[in-house]
Amino acid sequence: MRFSRFIMWLSLMLMAAPAFGQAVVLRPDDVLPRLKEAAPEAFYINGHDVHGIADEMAEAYYPLGDSAKYVLALVTLRLADKGVISLDEPVAKAMPNLMDFNPFEVAITPGHLLAETGGFARPVAGMNEAPLNYYLIKSRGAGQVSLHDPIGWRLLQAFLEKRTGQSVVDLLTQELLRPLGLSEEALMPVETRYPDVTATPLSDAVLRGDAVIALARLLLVNEDASGAPFLTPENHARLISDPLWQMHPLGFDAMAGSRRYRSGSHEWVQLGHCRPGVSVVAFPASGIAYVDPEATPFPSTQSQSCTGKLFRERALSNATANIPPTWTRQEAIAAADKLLEPEQLGGRYQCANISAWVKDRVDGSETCTLTTRMIDGETLTATIVWPPRADFVAGPPLSRRYQWEAPYAYRGSLAEPPLIFSPYKAGGYAYIGDVAYVKVGMLGYIRPIAGNYTPLMIIILLTGALHIRSKTSVQWRRYGWFCLTGAALVGFGLYADWHWWPTVLYKLQMPWLIVLWRTGLNVGLMLMLALPMLSTTFIRQQNMPERGFALLFAGPHLGLISLAAIGLFLTTIIWGVAGTFTAY
C-alpha cells in the first residue's frame, strides 16, 4: 500500500512539474555570485522559489521603468479574458474623439498596441503639454514593424479607461494587485501634471519588491494568489510563446508587453532594457527568471552602456552554462528558407523611429543611416551612421561585412547582432539588434542635399520681383508678383515648419496657425508651378524685353527662375510637406 501511494505521489509530482514551470533546478552558488557582481540587488526565480533577495528588499520600492509595458499588457489580457475588450477590435471605433476610423487602412487594434506595431511617429522630446490626440500621428501602417511606442501605450491606456469607465490606477488594483494577493501600496504611480510622452505610461511608478517577484513569476507560472489561472492559456501564451508580431524567424518576437530574443541555443523573454527600472530575463520553458529590480544607466567612456545590459549578459551567460537548449537555430533557418528573397536586396535606409517633424526626418537622412551593398550572392557590406546621443552605441560610422545565413538574414561576427531585412516590401525594413531602419532609397541622399540649396532657390525666386515694375507688358508685372508671393509663402511655410511646428502644436496648442501657414505654403507652390509655364509663354509669344540689360538677361533669368521653382517644388515633395494642410 505504501509503495502504491509513493508511486502515485511521484506521478503527481512529475505531472505538476511542467505546470510549475520548474523543469530546471539551479543552485544559488552557481548563479548569485556573478549575477550580483553586475547588479547587487539582482536575484533569480526558480519555479516558485526565489533566491538572492534579502528581507528588506521585499519591502523596498523600485522604479517600474519599461516593465510598465508588461504591467499594462497583463491588465489588457485580463480584460480580454473577461470579454470586456477584444484584442482584434478597431480602437478608433471606441475612441472617435481621438481617432478617425478609415475602412481603407489596417485598423489599429489592442493587439497592435501590445506588440508596439501601431505605427505612430515618435513624439518630440520635451513637448509634453498637449492632449493625446495631438500625438496620434501615423508614420507607417499598423502591423508593419515593432518599435518602442510610448504613444501607442498611452492610447491603449485611454482605450482601457474608456471601455471600463475606470482609471488605470483602479484597473491595476482590480485586475493585477488583488488577484496576486498584493495590497494597493504595492504599485504606486507618480502623479505629474505633464507626463513625459516619450516614456511608457506608468514608467515613473514605483513597485514594491514583493510585487516585482509576483509579476516576474507570472512569466513562469500562470497562477494568481489562490492558485487559480491568472490568464487563460491562450492569453498567457501571448506573454511567453505565441508572438503577436514576428518579422523573421531569426529575429526577435514582439510579445504582449515584452520581447522574445534568441541567441546561441536559447530564447528568452525580456522585460525592460537600458532605461531605469525593473529588468527581467526569463526562460519560461525552463522555469527560470533572472531579475534586476533597478537597472539604472551606467555611462561609459567607451560606449553608452548600462547596468541593465551587463545584467542581461551575466544572466545569459549563466543560462548558457546551466539551462538546456531551448531554441534550435537550424529549425529557424529551415523556417526562413520558405521565404523568397529578391535578387537585389538592401540599399539606403534611415532610422525608422523618428518624429513627424520635418526637421527630424531630414536630419535623420544624415545622422542615422544604414547603407548596404551586395558584393556577391553570399556577402553584403553595411555602412552604419549612428545618431548623436544614441542609446545603443556611440562612436564613428562603422563598416561591417555580413554573410548570408538565410533568406533576408545576414550574420557578422558572433559578437555582433545579425542584419535582418523584412520580407514585407522585399526588404522595406531592416533590423540590427533592436535598431530598426526603413528603406528610403535615393530620397535618403537627396533630402539633406536639397535642404542645403533651399535658401538659394528661394533667393532666386525672389529676384523675380524685379519684374514687378517691368514696362514690357502687364504679364511680366504679374509674373513678378507671382515670384514674390510664391517665394514668400513657400519660404515662410518651410521656415515655420522647420523651426516652429513642435512649439506651436504642443506648447501653444494652436493647430489652426499651422494649418494657416501650410495652406499658404501650398498656395505658394501653385504660384511657383505657374512660373515655368509663364516663362514658356513669354518666349513662344515673343513677349520679351527689346532693349537694355533686360534684353540680354531676361531669357537666362526666366530659365533660372523656372529651374528654382521646379527644384523647390520637388524639395517640398521629398520632404513630405507638399499637399499637407493639416497640423498633425
Q: Looking at the structure, do residues 176 and 131 belong to the same domain, yes or no?
A: yes
Q: What is the pLDDT of residue 6?
A: 43
Q: What does the DSSP assignment read for 22-48?
A: ------HHHHHHHHHHH-TT-EEEETT
| Spatial distance between the Cα atoms of 58 and 36, rounded to a whole number of angstroms | 17
* Residue 1, in any domain of the structure: no
Taking the C-alpha atoms of residue 232 and residue 81, their distance in angstroms, rounded to an integer, is 7
- Residue 444 confidence (pLDDT): 86
* Residue 9 DSSP class: H
- CA 393/CA 401 separation, integer angstroms: 18
Do 453 and 412 lie in one domain? The reply is: no
**Residue 45's closest CA among 284, 290, 281, 235?**
290
Q: How far apart are CA 319 and CA 37, in angstroms?
A: 16
User: Are residues 362 and 489 located together in one domain of the fold?
Assistant: no
Residue 278 lies in a domain: yes
Residue 12 is assigned to a structural domain of this protein:
no
- End position of a domain, from candidates 390, 410, 441: 441
What's the pLDDT score for residue 8? Answer: 47
**Beta-strand relationship, 398-406 and 369-374:** unpaired
Cα-based angle 397, 401, 403 (whole degrees, multiple of 5):
150
Q: Would you say residue 363 lies in a domain?
A: yes
Same domain membership, residue 351 and residue 216: no
Q: Which of 285, 303, 327 finishes a domain? A: 327
- Among residues 405, 420, 441, the one where a domain terminates is 441
Give me the number of domains the chain comprises: 3
* Residue 47: closest CA among 11, 16, 8, 9: 16
**Looking at the structure, do residues 125 and 175 belong to the same domain, yes or no?**
yes
Q: Provide the 3-class DSSP secondary structure of residue 104.
A: coil
Torsion 337-339-340-346 (CA) sign = negative
Among residues 391, 112, 101, 394, the alpha carbon closest in space to that of 274 is found at 391
Residue 248 grid cell: 523573421
| Domain enclosing residue 411, as ranges | 340-441
Residues 244, 369 within the same domain: no
> Which residues, at least 6 apart from 432, have a Cβ–Cβ distance to it below 8 Å?
370, 382, 384, 417, 418, 419, 420
> Is the same domain home to 248 and 351?
no
Using the CB atoms, write b or e for 89-98: b if 16+ within 10 Å. bbbbebbeeb
pTM, full prediction = 0.89
Give the mean pLDDT per block of 10 residues along the chain (584 residues): 46 42 78 89 93 89 93 98 96 92 91 96 91 94 93 96 95 96 91 78 92 96 95 97 95 95 92 82 95 65 49 91 92 93 88 92 89 88 74 61 93 83 92 91 88 94 91 90 96 97 95 97 96 91 74 84 96 94 92
Which one, of 273, 356, 406, lies nearest residue 577 by Cα?
A: 356
Provide the CA 527 distance to its chain's centre, in angstroms: 39
Question: Position of cell 519599461?
Answer: 66
Q: Are residues 421 and 459 in the same domain?
A: no
pLDDT of res. 300: 37
Which pLDDT score, from 0 to 100, does residue 575 have? Answer: 93
pLDDT of residue 194: 66
pLDDT at res. 276: 79
Cβ atoms of 207 and 61 within 8 Å: the answer is: yes
> 282 and 220 in contact (C-beta within 8 Å)?
yes
For residues 256 and 242, what is the distance between their CA atoms, to the nearest angstrom? 9
Q: Are residues 283 and 421 in the same domain?
A: no
Cβ atoms of 32 and 52 closer than 8 Å: yes
Q: Is residue 13 part of a domain?
A: no
Same domain, 300 and 421: no
State the Cα–Cα distance between residues 191 and 205, nearest whole angstrom.
Answer: 9
What's the grid cell of residue 168?
488605470
Q: Whole-angstrom Cα distance, residue 302 to residue 51?
A: 33
Domain-located, residue 541: yes
Residue 332 belongs to some domain of the structure: no
Alpha-carbon distance 239 to 269, whole Å? Answer: 8
Cβ neighbors of 490 (< 8 A, separation 6 or more) are 458, 461, 521, 524, 525, 528, 568, 572
C-alpha cell at 313: 549578459
Give residue 353's region: left, alpha or beta (phi > 0; psi -120 to 50).
Answer: beta
Is 301 among the domain residues?
A: yes
Decide: 256 and 115 in contact? Cβ < 8 Å. yes
Our CA dihedral for 449, 402, 271, 228, rounded to 10 degrees, sits at 130
Q: Are residues 197 and 322 in the same domain?
A: yes
Q: Which residues make beta-bridge pairs with 75?
A: none
212 with 305, same domain? Answer: yes
Instruction: Kindly list the distances between the CA atom of residue 358 and the CA atoms of 368, 565, 578, in Å, as whole numbers in the listed order.
Output: 15, 20, 12
CATH number, domain at 195?
3.40.710.10
Output the nine-digit C-alpha cell for 579: 499637399
